[in-house]
Chains A and B, each alone.
With several copies, the nearest count.
Chain A
């Protein structure tokens, strides 16, 4: 009783066009999308060359040329991607977008609530420190989700004079964690008054953790981040870990939502224009109490995290086992 073309009348072909392909988050997103497509018998072709914006635009045209039934655009620059997206829609190919504003009335926007992500993490920080903290900050400008989390930080600082930003670093040079760790180490030496760290991206967070470990300061500074992965969990539950809390959405779930959304669109069903995925806060204590060691267990213990009830339909199977 699935609507056409999901009633077996043809093999649906979806293109997923990505800006970033490397990194834990991106990998989990991919896995979620793949899994969902598998369950629905959809052919999913992934296009992506890491951080090559013009290639990403090209891929949209390549997908159009291949005659796909729908396109998911995952991250990217508004200016670069809006024209290709509009061109695809003009050719009658529906488009949904994750974390990039394509400025088109017919594009459904999927986004994790980055603002809230920042807020949740900072809320944990303020609770732990009673709104009095000297904060070190890791940030690189110009990356949309980071910019949104940055806005949250600016607001929190404004509202809470006790929260002071002491120093700011950040780099996207690889190896990520090591390069960030070098910077953070220097900052910690120069600013011994820092007693908390806000690094709203887990790759940055790992750099901070590494710096604290190498400086023997794990008991002096706590770290607040965003995003979660198995490795993050391992680092958080380690004895004496300074990683206090992280706010996260489930990237695999977002991947699945993206596929479901485009499927519903292809089937011609109703879909809200904006689909936001709310994050959850995980503190070190929560994880330890629940005895969680990896993402699989995390999903089992916190079902709300796993099942993002977005873009659902009776004819769409969902992943009950929670593989990711």
Chain B
């Protein structure tokens, strides 16, 4: 009995995932195609990446609500730099990452130094950035040929290299963003689970006071978590810009909730009951797989939110109720 419970907690989620994988494939063989599997992965890259950033803040017992708008900011800025200011792709990339890290730094300082609770501080910066990102372009989408305020046309273009970040394929097969997501996932996993820093992050999340008293520089680590979150979010935004090929004003909105959702589903993976990189990625992929499969079965879009929610609730209820029994 004990064993069954602990097995269920540990592998229940994975089993459900495999079962749905098999189920979808039986119902619609195209689901199992290599190409489709990569499409699923590609579909979750952006919010999967954001979710990795969110994981950092969750681990330190915080939460960054500004990741969605930071990513959107990055989309608009990357486009603005290349299209209007005619910067090179690499310069645009680096500048975006710097901006993302700075946003994270501001969040971190507000939370750690001014001691504003995390939800409040990041909700504030979320609104702030959401507005800020639209100011340079006056609220318009940014693409080559767009009219500038002085009546000229913007002549810059997304560089080839930059577009490759979002649209390239490695070995003509694996989309580059997928590589980025998996690589980042592995890095975050290793950092959190197998380095001392990771232990410090978790220790701070468990008891910041204790960590401080044994000599960890808690403030610096917590700020670092937000900086990483901002940095990763802006990288997600860069990939999104590269995929879309222009600065689309509608970018950020849905990203936040999807990213937070993925990170939270990660709680249920392998019965972790705490934020963890592996779970985050698996959670993101699971949601992507469900949406892909259900679309193939021609389920209307509003069923998708419902199912996303039902899965999240079921996974959590399962994990937590079993864990409680133990």
- Residues of A at the B interface (CB closer than 8 Å) are 21-24, 27, 31, 44-55, 57-59, 61-62, 64-67, 77-80, 83, 140-142, 167-179, 182-183, 185-187, 189-190, 192, 203, 206, 210, 213-215, 230-231, 233-234, 293-296, 323-324
Contacts and interface: CB of A to CB of B under 8 A. Distances in A.
Given A55-B43, A65-B30, A171-B301, A182 B292 contact: yes
Given A77-B245, A175-B240, A175-B250, 11 more contacts: A22-B250, A44-B298, A49-B254, A49-B301, A54-B243, A141-B141, A169-B295, A175-B255, A185-B43, A187-B296, A234-B145
Given A175-B250, A190-B296, A323-B151, A80 B143 contact: no
Interface stretch (B34-42, B221-229, B315-323): B34-42
Contact of A50 (B46, B158, B301): B301
B35 A64 contact: yes
Contacts of A168: 298
B141 A234 contact: no
Interface in B282-312: 288, 291-293, 295-298, 300-301, 304
A23 B175 contact: no
Interface of B: 28, 30-31, 33, 35-36, 39, 42-43, 46, 138-141, 143-147, 151, 153, 158, 167, 175, 240, 243-246, 248-255, 288, 291-293, 295-298, 300-301, 304
B251 A175 contact: yes
B296 A186 contact: yes
6 contacts: A24-B140, A49-B291, A66-B30, A77-B141, A175-B244, A190-B298
B244 A79 contact: yes
Contacts of B244: 53-54, 57, 77, 79-80, 175, 177-178, 206, 210
Contact of A79 (B43, B245, B292): B245
Contacts of B153: 294, 296
A185 B46 CA distance: 16
A142 B46 CA distance: 22
Contacts of A64: 35
Contacts of B253: 51-52, 173-175
B248 A53 contact: yes
Contacts of B252: 174-175
A61 B141 contact: no
B39 A142 contact: no
B28 A230 contact: no
A47 B295 contact: yes
A179 B36 CA distance: 16
Contacts of A295: 145, 147
B139 A58 contact: no
A324 B33 CA distance: 38
A242 to B, nearest CB: 15
Contact of B298 (A45, A62, A176, A179): A45
Given A214-B42, A323-B151, A175 B248 contact: yes
B295 A62 contact: yes
Nearest to B42: A58
B308 to A, nearest CB: 11
B46 to A, nearest CB: 6
Nearest to B141: A142
A323 B250 CA distance: 25
A324 to B, nearest CB: 7
A54 B245 CA distance: 10
Contacts of B42: 58, 61, 214
Contacts of A230: 143-147
A61 B301 contact: no
Nearest to A170: B301
A170 B248 CA distance: 17
Given A23-B250, A174-B252, A176-B250, A183 B39 contact: no
A140 to B, nearest CB: 7
Contact of B254 (A59, A167, A169, A174): A174
Contacts of B138: 141
Please indicate which of the listed interface residues B28, B30, B255 has the most CB atoms of chain A within 10 Å of its own CB: B30
Nearest to B240: A54
Given A79-B244, A167-B298, A173-B254, A186 B139 contact: no
Nearest to A182: B43
Contacts of A174: 250-255
A200 B178 CA distance: 31
A82 to B, nearest CB: 8
Nearest to A203: B250
A294 B145 contact: yes
Contact of B143 (A45, A59, A61, A234): A234
